[in-house]
């Protein structure tokens, strides 16, 4: 794959063109990443059964893996996304933090952390009964992110 940038001062709007011999999963992924970047990375497609939902990732409390799928939890519902956690880490805004091998949390939505020195600590969210656990190895990273917000 080659990358080529051309400056054209006479253009009023930036245009991204992908030229390829055939469309494969890498090309589709590249198109998706560019589209999300151009739209501010603030909305993904969320799935529930046969229905697609479009809303801001700011509504998501946390993402977690369940089997081979990734679920997005809002305060009152659960949706599936078509990304792996490592892909979400790169796409999500900076206030989303990895908290375990199987979870990413929206630090802006954290209400409390019930600290447990010997095991995972429970994270709770305001306005929701849901909780997720931060593993001991990721606790310090989360704590630092919360300190940055102050």
Over residues 37-78, the pLDDT tens digits come to 765 555 688 999 999 998 889 999 999 999 999 999 999 999
Between 7 and 149, residue with greater pLDDT? 7
Is residue 133 situated within a structural domain? yes
pLDDT at 43: 66
Q: CA angle, corner 139, sides to 134 and 141, nearest 5?
A: 120
Sequence-distant (≥ 6) Cβ neighbours of residue 71 within 8 angstroms:
63, 64, 65, 78, 79, 80, 81
CATH number of the domain bearing residue 133: 2.40.50.1020
pLDDT at 94: 84
pLDDT at 38: 66
Show the domain range for 93.
25-149
Q: Which of 47, 49, 83 is nearest to 64 (CA)?
A: 83
Q: What is the pTM of this model?
A: 0.71
Is residue 6 situated within a structural domain? no
Per-residue pLDDT tens for 101-113? Answer: 999 999 999 999 9
Pairing mode, strands 121-125 and 131-134: antiparallel
Is residue 36 situated within a structural domain? yes
Q: CA angle, corner 57, sides to 135 and 70, nearest 5?
A: 50
Confidence check: pLDDT of 5 > 60: yes
Structurally, the chain folds into a number of domains equal to 1
Is residue 3 situated within a structural domain? no
Mean pLDDT in the chain? 88
The C-alpha atoms of residue 106 and residue 113 are separated, in whole angstroms, by: 13
pLDDT at 6: 87
Is residue 90 situated within a structural domain? yes
Is residue 2 situated within a structural domain? no
pLDDT at 51: 94
The C-alpha atoms of residue 134 and residue 140 are separated, in whole angstroms, by: 10
């Amino acid at each position: 794959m080659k990358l080529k940038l051309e400056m054209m001062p006479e253009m009023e709007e930036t245009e991204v063109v992908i030229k390829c011999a055939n469309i494969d999963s890498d090309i589709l992924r590249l198109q998706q990443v560019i589209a999300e970047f151009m739209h501010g990375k603030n909305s993904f497609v969320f799935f529930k059964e046969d229905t697609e939902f479009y809303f801001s990732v700011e509504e998501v409390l946390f993402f977690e893996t369940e089997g081979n799928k990734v679920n997005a939890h809002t305060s009152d519902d659960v949706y599936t996304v078509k990304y792996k956690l490592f892909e979400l880490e790169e796409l999500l805004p900076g206030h989303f933090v990895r908290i375990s091998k199987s979870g990413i949390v929206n630090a802006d939505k954290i209400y409390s952390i019930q600290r447990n020195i010997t095991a995972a600590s429970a994270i709770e969210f305001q306005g929701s009964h849901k909780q997720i656990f931060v593993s001991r190895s990721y606790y310090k990273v989360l704590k630092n992110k919360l300190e940055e917000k102050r």
